Structure 1
Amino acid sequence: MFVVLQKLRYFVAGRTALMHVTTMNLKEETVATLKRFDIGEKFSYLPVLPKASVLIPLFVRGGQLHTLLTLRSKELRTGAGEVCFPGGKRDPSDRDDVDTALREAQEEIGLPPDQVEVVCTLFPVFSKRGLLVSPVVGFIEETFTPTPNPSEVSAVFAVPLDFFTREKDHYVTHGVAGMTGPLHSFYFRDPSSGNQYHIFGLTAMLATLVAVLALKKKPQFDVGFDLLDPLAFFKKILHKRLSKL
């Protein structure tokens, strides 16, 4: 009996060590992949515009990349009850886009800035409210437990990144006023709570974009941008919007 227990302990320890190595390898590979899309100073020439940032938090669970999303409080004046990434408007005290994203994530879901490994800042995009939004991608620990600020967030949930590349539960609308290209929409049922969430608009587009870049995987649907050169596409859209200001 003792020998059997010892073998079982070795098996569990070995499996745990293997999962840790797999997690580290996946994380390191993803970080290296996403860093290639960091914009750096490529958009420093842009005029001064109302700015905002969102944090796209990634983590590895069960050998898969996941991201965290929030459900905005129904008491908010704008975007009430919508699904989004943690984020918000630039504050005068923020040093840059990364600072904004980290501050907002701490205020909304209790994520300490020093627990985020910032990977990159992706191409800025315009929101429906005319804000220039910078997506900041960072890794967090799987063990992080959100503490939502009830005045801003009513729920926090995790979604496998691969979900945003699958046709199942994906819907698309074309010809939406003010939108260039398809408007993506997903319906996700959270297995831990049983709640269903509607992910659409800018949030759906950013989630799809990060999934495509991080997983290096072609989605089962038309994303509406060049998979080989997404920067050129988003730069074109950005300049088109700027020309109308």
Structure 2
Amino acid sequence: MRNLLAERLSGYAPRQLALDYPEAGVLVPVTNNHRQPEIIFTLRSDNLKTHRGQVSFPGGRRDLTDSSLEATALRECHEEIGLPPEQVHIIAPLSQVMSRYGILVTPYVGVVPEDYPLVGNPAEIESIFQVPIDFFLEDQRERTDALSFLNHTFYVPCYRWERYQIWGLSAVILVDFLNAVYEAKIDLLEPPQR
């Protein structure tokens, strides 16, 4: 899986947003399974101040002690789901995105063991779940949300996997990953034709 992702992301130029906002780093964890790779998501606790009860990638705001946003993503991943940095092979960053709370988020694609025992931090994470990448490539979205950002409207898919809804910022990051790695051609600038 590492070689496949590295090859497909080698020519990818992630979009950088020239905005002066607080920063965060998140991990897009892909399991190391060539037959059926999965992406790991979290469901955030209802007790949190922001994004409570929402599906997200593990990650969070940059601390002053973090040497880089990649280090932020790895630290937060360890804190949130118990995955140590040495178990993650970072491949490449994806395009930066802006959260509705004014946080500039840089996602990093990382390959992780498919059978590592993940444990959610109960103060932050309600549950951890995995979704096969093939599910998203079928683009069986539940709905499309029209989201505004910098005078543009983006048509962002919402996917349902079991009891979870993957939408908003997480869906934007997910679509960037699917388009960059699998040439999914999911267009966020035009509403879907169905």
Describe the shift of the 1:135–1:62 C-alpha distance in structure 2 as closer, same or farther (beyond 3 A): closer
The answer to whether the aligner puts 1:224 opposite 2:189 as a matched pair is yes
Secondary structure (helix, strand or coil) at the match of 2:37 reads strand
Amino acid at match of 2:103: L
Structure with greater proportional helix content: 1
Give me the identity figure in percent: 34
8 Å Cα contact 2:95/2:176 also seen in 1: no
After TM superposition, the runs of 4+ consecutive aligned structure 1 residues lying more than 4 A away are none
- 1:33 matched residue in structure 2: 8
TM-score, length-scaled by structure 1: 0.70
Q: Per-residue CA shift, 1:127-182, capped at 9, x if unaligned?
A: 111111001111011111111100000100001122223232432133x4446311
Query: Relative contact order, CA 8 A, sep 6+: which one is greater?
Result: 2
- 2: CA distance, partners of 1:30 / 1:177: 30
TM-score, length-scaled by structure 2: 0.87
Describe the shift of the 1:177–1:209 C-alpha distance in structure 2 as closer, same or farther (beyond 3 A): closer
The answer to whether the aligner puts 1:93 opposite 2:68 as a matched pair is no
Output aligned runs, 1:107-146, within 5 Å.
107-146=79-118
Displacement, 1:82?
Answer: 0.3
Describe the shift of the 1:216–1:65 C-alpha distance in structure 2 as closer, same or farther (beyond 3 A): farther
Q: Which runs of 5+ in 1 are unaligned?
A: 1-25, 190-195, 226-245
Aligned length: 188
Output aligned runs, 1:57-76, within 5 Å.
57-61=29-33, 63-76=35-48
8 Å Cα contact 1:169/1:188 also seen in 2: no
Describe the shift of the 1:38–1:141 C-alpha distance in structure 2 as closer, same or farther (beyond 3 A): farther
Q: Which runs of 5+ in 2 are unaligned?
A: none
Describe the shift of the 1:177–1:31 C-alpha distance in structure 2 as closer, same or farther (beyond 3 A): closer
- 1:201 matched residue in structure 2: 168
8 Å Cα contact 2:28/2:58 also seen in 1: yes
Q: Which has the larger radius of gyration?
A: 1
Describe the shift of the 1:123–1:133 C-alpha distance in structure 2 as closer, same or farther (beyond 3 A): same
Secondary structure (helix, strand or coil) at the match of 2:46 reads coil
Q: Per-residue CA shift, 1:174-211, capped at 9, x if unaligned?
A: 3x44463113211111xxxxxx1011101011112212
The answer to whether the aligner puts 1:184 opposite 2:157 as a matched pair is yes
